[in-house]
A and B are shown apart, each in its own frame.
Chain A
Amino acid sequence: MPFVRLREIPRTISFRTALMSLALFGFSFLALFGYVYWQTAGYLAHQTDKRLERQIESRSQQPPKMRLHELQEHIEQDRKSHSPHTLFDAQGRPIMGAVQKLPSFNGYDEPHEFVWHKPNGHRRPIRFMVHPLEDGMLLLVGEDIHSIQEFDELLVNALLSGGAVLLVVGLLGAVLLGYLAGRRLDALSRSIERIIKGDLSNRLPTRGNDDDIDRIATIVNGMLDELERLMSEVKGVCDDIAHDLRTPLTRLLAGLERTQRHALSQEQYARAIEAAIAEAQGLLQTFRALLRITEIEDSARRRNFTQVDLDRIGADASEFFEPLAEARGIALEFSPAPVPSRLAGDAQLLFDATCNLLDNAIKFSPDNGWIQVKIIAEQGRIGLRITDNGPGIPEAEREAVFRRLYRCESSRHTAGNGLGLSMVAAVARLHDMILEVHDAQPGCRIDLIQASQG
């Protein structure tokens, strides 16, 4: 079970994003609630004030006698003093009503609030207005606003508790998201660590839902596939180099040591030196060929591309190898294309590649065999085909022969460094050509063909 350390959660992007949304949401929650509170409280106060104003208006318009009578009636009805109307004389002494003392106020007909100590000992919040009557008396109309204040408090409490719940749920959510993201990242980093430690066959876990992390993981996995291929190739080449170069080096060393040990004649010395030189030259040649392939694989060489006539390349190479073929009684036949066969390329490299193919064909053909060099130029395909009636290349080895330093089992004992076909393959890649080995039944047919674009 993957375990995410708690202190790592706050660093995850998911956690931070969740936190940020929580902050944003909290802020808008506060604003909304504040607005609602402000509007409701204001509305309720406004309604109270309206009622107070209406009372004052109706009372002040009544003749004093009727006013007194109605007040008396109101006071009797309003036993609980929900609206304690009171009449004071000009000096502020109560004449009639529940309130015993004129509360302080600064301005007639303006709403004010005060806490009324009721005779029964209760305290009530009262909203009131004072109106001067035409006979010099002061009329106080008030209303108990306890319920309104209670409502306000309820609202604020709801806001606070709702906010707290929101905060807790939001924080938990953020931690959960952070934990999940952390767990996923942990799985990814564990895979990557394993890969770094050398397990190149390992791949990053994907969920198949194509989300952001999945997409990156897929790309990284693709990169790893390519890397693995390259690594195995490099490893193969290194193994091959180690093997193929050790042999001539050992031979060289053995020869030199033998010469050193034995007292030899002048002539034997000369022979030993000659053999050593030949070995060293062979080694140099292998290195040169390796470097050459690297050089060819540098696609910057395409800068030197010119229009090349494949017919001429084929003819030159065939003509160059003709005496070698003739010496072995091999019939070397060249057939040019019926139509002009020009392509953008490097004449030197194409010539070398053709020579390598011909060299192989002659090397592996039986005496008195035949080899055909054919230039193909048809339906957007242009290229070169070399067919021989030698032993051919076994199906299983047809891919491997293009690897550097690879030598077929059957050819281990013929001269060569196993780089010829690798060089041809490099030239083919540079020219966007396809290099294929086919069975010519009997023999081998090698196609080096460029399918034209479009």
Chain B
Amino acid sequence: MTHVLIVEDDLITAREIEAALKDHGFEVTCIDNGRDALLRAISETFDAIVLDRMLPGSLDGLGVLTALRAAGIATPVLILSALGELDERVRGLRAGGDDYLTKPFEFIELTARLDALLRRFVGQGQEHDNQLRVGNLSIDLLRRKVRRGERPIDLLPREYALLEYLARHANQVVTRTMLFEAVWQYSYGERTNVIEVHMSRLRRKIDGEGEEQMIHTIRGAGYALRSPA
């Protein structure tokens, strides 16, 4: 079972995160200060750490993170902070964070990002011979060609990038923000409705008539590419 360490000093937020992650099927440990968090993270093995930046006491989130990385512990860390400015995000990532989520956030966004982080670190091996396969959908990563079954699919570069990201996170919920950041390489800019249009275009090409649906819209969250049952 995936074990996640939550470092958050606000009790209510910590409880909400704990509940959300337990619902998602994770085992959760909550710590409310930097010193204890660092001790636990060093002495035990966690699959991921959700780290608040502003913590009481002398050791804040970035301090914990720096100490962890200095100790050679590579547990994926998702920073959760109200400090959302570009400078702050960059500082968090430079200190060794693997992802950065700004408060207020949606829990679905948190779990989706944690899934992505965990998968990145487990190293999902769905890639063979430069091919990504999800169900009967195959993506040729070298020639950038996509086929569903025998049907070749012609995609625009951006659509291809979207599909590749979805395929790399197959069977996982991917939020619009994640898609936007991964595919357009700008940070989140509130333009979720535009991404919806891009996705519906992609969906029209992937899920042809009479074919089983692969791109699923997850209400209030994002999308998931799933192999047909």
Q: Which residues of B contact A309 (CB under 8 A)?
A: none
Expressed in whole angstroms, the minimum distance between the Cβ of B184 and any Cβ of chain A is 6
Whether a CB of chain A sits under 8 angstroms from the CB of B201 is: yes
Question: Do the beta carbons of A359 and B191 come within 8 Å of each other?
Answer: yes
Question: Do the beta carbons of A351 and B190 come within 8 Å of each other?
Answer: no
Q: Which residues of A contact B24 (CB under 8 A)?
A: none
- Which residues of B28-44 have CB atoms within 8 Å of chain A's CB atoms? none
Question: Do the beta carbons of A324 and B197 come within 8 Å of each other?
Answer: yes
Name the residue on A nearest B193 (C-beta). A324
Name the residue on B nearest A284 (C-beta). B104
Expressed in whole angstroms, the minimum distance between the Cβ of A77 and any Cβ of chain B is 114
Q: Which residues of A contact B85 (CB under 8 A)?
A: 295
Q: How far is the CA of A347 from the CA of B189 in the complex (A)?
A: 13
Whether a CB of chain A sits under 8 angstroms from the CB of B149 is: no
Question: Do the beta carbons of A348 and B186 come within 8 Å of each other?
Answer: yes
Pick the contact of A351: B158, B189, B193, B201 (CB < 8 A).
Answer: B189
Pick the contact of B198: A288, A323, A352 (CB < 8 A).
Answer: A323
Minimum-distance CB pairs A-B, first 10: A323-B197, A324-B197, A351-B186, A352-B189, A323-B201, A324-B194, A323-B198, A348-B186, A295-B85, A327-B197
Question: Do the beta carbons of A348 and B187 come within 8 Å of each other?
Answer: yes
Interface residues of chain B, those whose CB is within 8 Å of chain A, are 85-87, 104, 158, 184, 186-187, 189-191, 193-194, 197-198, 201, 220
Pick the contact of A355: B104, B158, B191, B201 (CB < 8 A).
Answer: B191
Q: Which residues of A contact B220 (CB under 8 A)?
A: 274, 277
Can you name 12 extra interface pairs (CB under 8 A) apart from A321-B194, A348-B86, A359-B191? A277-B220, A285-B190, A288-B190, A316-B186, A319-B158, A320-B194, A320-B198, A323-B194, A323-B198, A324-B193, A348-B187, A355-B189
Q: How far is the CA of A327 from the CA of B85 in the complex (A)?
A: 33
Q: Which residues of A contact B87 (CB under 8 A)?
A: 304
Q: Which residues of A contact B104 (CB under 8 A)?
A: 284
Expressed in whole angstroms, the minimum distance between the Cβ of B82 and any Cβ of chain A is 11
Name the residue on A nearest B219 (C-beta). A274
- Which residues of A272-303 have CB atoms within 8 Å of chain B's CB atoms? 274, 277, 284-285, 288-289, 295, 301
- Given A277-B220, A327-B197, are A289 and B190 neighbors across the interface (CB < 8 Å)? yes
Q: Which residues of B contact A274 (CB under 8 A)?
A: 220
Expressed in whole angstroms, the minimum distance between the Cβ of A314 and any Cβ of chain B is 13
Q: Which residues of B contact A285 (CB under 8 A)?
A: 190
Q: How far is the CA of A274 from the CA of B184 in the complex (A)?
A: 29
Expressed in whole angstroms, the minimum distance between the Cβ of B177 and any Cβ of chain A is 13
Q: How far is the CA of A324 from the CA of B201 in the complex (A)?
A: 10
Name the residue on B nearest A316 (C-beta). B184
Expressed in whole angstroms, the minimum distance between the Cβ of A359 and any Cβ of chain B is 7
Q: Which residues of A contact B190 (CB under 8 A)?
A: 285, 288-289
Expressed in whole angstroms, the minimum distance between the Cβ of A296 and any Cβ of chain B is 10
Expressed in whole angstroms, the minimum distance between the Cβ of A321 and any Cβ of chain B is 6
Q: Which residues of B contact A348 (CB under 8 A)?
A: 86, 186-187
Expressed in whole angstroms, the minimum distance between the Cβ of B179 and any Cβ of chain A is 12
Would you list 17 pairs from A and B whose C-beta atoms are within 8 A, ordered by A residue? A284-B104, A285-B190, A288-B190, A289-B190, A295-B85, A320-B194, A320-B198, A321-B194, A323-B197, A323-B201, A324-B193, A324-B194, A324-B197, A348-B187, A351-B189, A352-B189, A359-B191
Q: Which residues of A contact B186 (CB under 8 A)?
A: 316, 347-348, 351-352
Q: Which residues of B contact A289 (CB under 8 A)?
A: 190
Name the residue on B nearest A351 (C-beta). B186
Expressed in whole angstroms, the minimum distance between the Cβ of B81 and any Cβ of chain A is 14
Q: Which residues of B contact A319 (CB under 8 A)?
A: 158
Expressed in whole angstroms, the minimum distance between the Cβ of B83 and any Cβ of chain A is 11
Expressed in whole angstroms, the minimum distance between the Cβ of A217 and any Cβ of chain B is 41
Name the residue on A nearest B90 (C-beta). A304
Q: How far is the CA of A288 from the CA of B105 in the complex (A)?
A: 12
Name the residue on A nearest B102 (C-beta). A288
Pick the contact of B184: A277, A301, A320 (CB < 8 A).
Answer: A320
Q: Which residues of A contact B194 (CB under 8 A)?
A: 320-321, 323-324, 355, 359
Q: Which residues of B contact A295 (CB under 8 A)?
A: 85
Name the residue on A nearest B198 (C-beta). A323
Q: How far is the CA of A301 from the CA of B194 in the complex (A)?
A: 27
> Which of B158, B186, B201, B220 has the largest number of chain A CB atoms within 10 A?
B186
Q: Which residues of B contact A277 (CB under 8 A)?
A: 220
Question: Do the beta carbons of A304 and B86 come within 8 Å of each other?
Answer: yes
- Which residues of A344-380 have CB atoms within 8 Å of chain B's CB atoms? 347-348, 351-352, 355, 359
Expressed in whole angstroms, the minimum distance between the Cβ of A282 and any Cβ of chain B is 11
Q: Mark A304-334, 1 if CB is under 8 A from B, else 0.
A: 1000000000001001110110010000000
> Which of A319, A323, A351 has the largest number of chain B CB atoms within 10 A?
A323
Q: How far is the CA of A274 from the CA of B220 in the complex (A)?
A: 9
Q: Which residues of A contact B158 (CB under 8 A)?
A: 319
Q: Which residues of B contact A288 (CB under 8 A)?
A: 190
Expressed in whole angstroms, the minimum distance between the Cβ of A380 and any Cβ of chain B is 28
Q: How far is the CA of A449 from the CA of B220 in the complex (A)?
A: 38
> Which of A295, A320, A351 has the largest number of chain B CB atoms within 10 A?
A320
Q: How far is the CA of A316 from the CA of B194 in the complex (A)?
A: 13
